[in-house]
Structure 1
């Protein structure tokens, strides 16, 4: 959207976002001559000849709390540039929020190439690196905020749909085994849990001659007895993809079914 005289914004940041989008779309080399919380003076092509006539002035309105464009010379006589000064890592991160949500392992070089192809601008690997960190931190924060509202969501389900059942988070135990090398051979079986601070702590461990169905059943039977959970009802056991895995699950006995991750 091109800026127009009298256009109103919630704050200067919102106007800057609009100006960056405008600069990227047309390849204008905009820059801020004055830039603070109360005023914004924007010009084009700093230090270049001939001087571009574009000029935008914005400040807060007196009678309402909105940031307004109060004077504007919208014409340009400059050519397209491909390195836009207004483009920073936060702008890139916001554009790539959904892309990185679906593919957080997108490489910086591919990201740089995609930006060049999509927006017809040049950005650096450093900008892409910072943009990726920014976007992933925003994604993590958003997910934490959503998960923090699960209890409110559960209460609303019960209110709006009487008879519904809403369960809390199930207690989880992670189990795994590894080879022991050196003088003492064998397999180390271990079970870990998470405390209220989301920190892992060991529940049990043992050394066996081989990792198989029988040794795992023996280990888990002792673990259930020690923590007084009987057949393990109410517990979620998570394991890696063990070689005994069949169709996504590892059946150790009629009592335990381990979901793989």
Structure 2
């Protein structure tokens, strides 16, 4: 089978800016009928000055080399990471290489968010299977299409329901917060307070936006869960500055009036 020179051999030469002066060179060739490469000749001595730029340095290599460092300090600034790589490797890396290196390292440590969202059904089914009595609701748009879109997820563990009724004041408080990252959304939470003034989580949900519809959906499910373990629960709304009320706060009040009555 005919093979081109590029397929049969590889030549690595010095990439310094001064041409035809440095003799650094490695020549290797692929052995016939094998997947083995053999070094034919090499000259490892450089006569040029040290180069701080290397086009062969990839973000994948940096992610694997500094994986444990990112695990210990996931909030390390990219400028500090670039300075560390320059000291230890002797190569100047640009901002984008450092950014993609951190992104790949985070995926190795915490997993890929896109892949995790594709398994949201498995997550809900596992909660129901291994936590009897728990509630896990998933809402997907376009479920019959090749690429369905995740909208909402509601979780309320049976242990949280029973713990709230047994050791907390019967006044659950609710709030919402924005999620950051490649897949933004709104985190809705319900929590109580125990006898030591500690916060006790009751239920939480991920929704696409914060409005009266999503709050009504969340509070309706929460009301059902708490009603299943307690005959009486008091609902209160944590007011903000009385001189100001945002649209989101109005949506929350409307939802309270609709669900609680």
TM-score bucket of the superposed structures, by smaller chain: 0.3 to 0.5
TM-score scaled to structure 2, two decimals? 0.45
Higher helix residue share: 2
Provide the TM-score with structure 1 as the length reference: 0.45
